Amino acid sequence: MKQSSTRPFLLMASVLLASLFLTACSSNPEKAPAAEKKFVLPDSLAKSLELDTVANSKVVNAITLTGKVAFNDDHVARIFPLVSGYIQDIKVMLGDYVEKGQALALIKSSEMAGYSSELVTAETNSSVAKKNLEATKDMYRSGLASARDSLAAEAAYEQAKAALEKAQKVLRLNGGSTNGDYIVRAPISGFIVEKLVTNNMAIRSDNSASLFTISDLKDVWVLANVYESSISSIRMGDSVNVSTLSYPGKIVHGKVDRIMNVLDPTNKVMKVRIVLPNPGYLLKPEMFADVTVNSTENKHMLCLPGNALIFDHSQYYVLVYKSPSDISIRPVQVSNTVGDKTYITEGVAAGEKVIASQALLIYQELNS
């Protein structure tokens, strides 16, 4: 009897405890998880940001060649001796700049003395023939000479004049000096790029070596070596980038101007010629040059600037930009890189904008 009266009380206590537990749970709910923070490009960074557009452009292949800087043979003057003798009073050194007509050296020559003597003889003969003609004409008018005599005197005078003109021209072609000196003068303005003589050196007019070589160096040639495996990829007019060891950060742009369609029998290379402007005379003959020939193929591919690429975990990525709060990381497949252009096979579409500056910084922020 006593045990049965306790059971309803225990049941009521259990219900009360359960209701209190439920009330406590409902009055202290768990906190909801915080929303994921989204990256927004700061205004200070957005102002200096560079964007580029993915474009569909012609594919360009790059071929790297070696070469060297050479004279432009169309603007070079090689000076050969016209007379024999001894060279003296050389006034220029290798590398000097000279003006057209400037005296370079002096040649003491017996040939020049002979030309002077021939001129004096021709002048004397011309003077004598002229006086003889005048006297014969007077005698012909007086009946003391025949018409034949008059014609003969006139012919002799014409021959003497021709001999005088020849002697004058020969002397003039050889410098015009009448004291036995031949002055070597610059035929064009430019730099002395070769000097093969010294003072008191004996020279001959039949010598095959030049005394001086002058080049204006306003433009120069770059002669590049093309190996057999690359010959089919080189075409006239292909654009070329040239750099040298002396100016590693400076790129000079040109075009393939001529293809020499023969191979050197020794090293089995074909030469191609590039004509380059040379402001400031920075490019000097015999400099070694690195030559990159850009040949265009007849097909198109998606292209974007190389500085937009990010390489991470053996994969290339770009940052596709839609707005300061909508920047996405996009993996891409790279086909080839030529200069500052990279060709893409997949991952982006034409017309999409990509971040082309400070891409690595933003990429790290997006991944943090």
Digit-coded pLDDT (tens) for 328-367 = 999 999 887 877 788 898 999 999 999 998 888 888 888 8
Q: What is the pLDDT of residue 259?
A: 93
Q: What is the pLDDT of residue 175?
A: 66
Q: pLDDT at residue 41 above 90?
A: no
| Distance (Å, whole) CA 243 – CA 56 | 29
Contacts of 182 (CB under 8 A, 6+ apart): 82, 83, 85, 106, 107, 109, 111, 112, 174, 175
Q: What is the pLDDT of residue 15?
A: 47
Mean pLDDT for 197-209 is: 85
Digit-coded pLDDT (tens) for 253-296 = 999 999 998 998 888 899 999 999 898 889 988 999 999 888 77
Range of lowest pLDDT (130-144, 176-190, 344-358): 176-190
Q: What is the pLDDT of residue 272?
A: 94
Give me the domains of the chain, ranges plus CATH numbers.
43-59+300-367 (2.40.420.20), 64-73+217-297 (2.40.30.170), 75-109+185-216 (2.40.50.100), 110-179 (1.10.287)
Q: pLDDT at residue 21 above 90?
A: no
Tokens of 159: 């021959």
Cβ proximity of 107 and 142 under 8 Å: no
Cβ proximity of 87 and 199 under 8 Å: yes
Which percentage of the chain shows pLDDT scores above 70?
88
Q: pLDDT at residue 29 above 60?
A: no
CB atoms within 10 A of CB 94: 12
For residue 236, give the amino acid letter.
Answer: M
| Distance (Å, whole) CA 250 – CA 276 | 13
CB atoms within 10 A of CB 141: 10
Q: What is the pLDDT of residue 36?
A: 54
CA trace torsion 80, 82, 84, 86 (10° rounding): -60
| Distance (Å, whole) CA 355 – CA 6 | 79
Q: pLDDT at residue 97 above 90?
A: yes
Cβ proximity of 269 and 226 under 8 Å: yes
